[in-house]
Amino acid sequence: MASQYDVIVLGSGPGGYVAAIRCAQLGLKTAIVERENLGGICLNWGCIPTKALLRSAEIFHYMQNAGDYGLKAQGIEADLDAVVKRSRGVAKQLNQGIGHLMKKNKITVHMGEGTLTSPTALTVKGDKGEEKLTARNVIVATGARARDLPFAPADGKRIWTYRHAMTPSQMPDKLLVVGSGAIGIEFASFYNDMGADVTVVEMLDRVVPVEDHEVSAFLEKSLTKQGMTIMTGASVESLEVGAKGVTATIKGKDGKVQKTEFSHVISAIGIVPNTENIGLEKTGAKMDRGFIQIDPYGRTAAKGLWAIGDCTPGPWLAHKASHEGVSAAEAIAQEMGNTDVHPHALNRNNIPGCTYCHPQIASVGMTEAKAKEAGYTVKVGNFPFIGNGKAIALGEAEGFIKTVFDAKTGELLGAHMIGAEVTELIQGYTVGKTLETTEAELGQTVFPHPTLSEMMHESVLSAYGKALHI
């Protein structure tokens, strides 16, 4: 006899578990199916444990530079095993927290491999054998995994994905990072701060290529100053794994080919959606390059089947997945007769992006170049960290904040930051964009002193020739 639900969520990452909670809050009988760890990749092998690693590296960096703050510290050493142990402990704590939330919201958890048999039914193979589940609605939230280099799949020993890089068996002496997106740059930053000799190879003409060109240029200069080797417009042609390392054949932007020895390689060239072998071919859902196609609320082409998160078109971010989960849950509740809920479509222009390297990067909305391509006449403001008292007091005077406005209407089109704690500042601009704020409201807002947030105000003023501290 199949277990019956109003909603079954396949996958318990930041999209899936949030969708399940919102469904339960709306009075829907809800189940979640997970094959590995509650919390998915984000909580167990992605967003959270990597930030724990980066925090350890950040503190290690400060300790090594204690003299800059009038302090003395000697015999500073890093214990990689202890750093990794702390990171795994943080992940375990949050994993247990998700289990608590499932119980609190009376969500039934089925641990095992879920396979769709129709848009609204699936089987789960786990320790208890095979279970059959049916529901009025199914939300697919199966996420994605790291993309392997086609000529050199990760072996976990010398060639790593992000998952291997989080639990290294040894500290790399000389590390090659292939790809300079958020994942690649974060691991490059972590291992560089921990003492590895790091080289980053990026096929495109600049690092973090989705960011504003000024941010990319500033980051490359900063990483180079920190001792990294940055190769843009370059490609890794082959990798030969030996007993003691990896020989990489790299083609530079000048077309010249060189062979270089590395102890380890991290592949950070993108993701592959987890949409194979889950029965989607039996549902009628439409696919594009492996990603499930959805409407703004998460509906697929198959009635009763929904999809959210990294198995759908990007951006592939945890907070985007969570937001989609809420939208889908509320749309389902509305379809099932709840007239008190008002689902909201996701506006991709208002999704912030964060990269937790050193210095940090954060952005929302259009870059200057994209705004001009879209036909806008723009006003651009730029304010440096060196002009902010709090940044100087913190010893973090590296970076800037850039804002882009529509010159005709004053609409905030985009904001781009690089520097200390900008990942905590970007939400101010994100709220502003969601409220359709113009430069007038931002310019008239009172920002507290002394704070880093004052730079946000100054950047807005700068766009209109009113900056006060530069």
Contacts of 169 (CB under 8 A, 6+ apart): 157
* Burial class, 62, CB count within 10 angstroms (exposed 0-12 / middle 13-18 / buried 19+): middle
Q: For residues 101 and 375, give the distance between their C-alpha atoms in angstroms, rounded to a whole number.
A: 47
Q: ∠383-388-394 over CA atoms, to 5°?
A: 130
In the residue annotation, 449 being an active-site residue is answered as yes
Q: Active site residue: 100, 449, 457, 469, which one?
A: 449
Contacts of 420 (CB under 8 A, 6+ apart): 359, 360, 385, 391, 394, 396, 398, 399, 452
Q: For residues 460 and 428, give the distance between their C-alpha atoms in angstroms, rounded to a whole number.
A: 12
Q: What is each CA distance from 176 to 4, 51, 185, 290, 460, in whole angstroms?
A: 50, 21, 11, 28, 39
Which amino acid belongs to residue 322?
Answer: S
Q: What is each CA distance from 52 to 91, 224, 257, in whole angstroms?
A: 9, 24, 37
Q: Which of 444, 382, 469, 392 is nearest to 417 (CA)?
A: 382
Q: Which residues are identified as catalytic?
A: 449
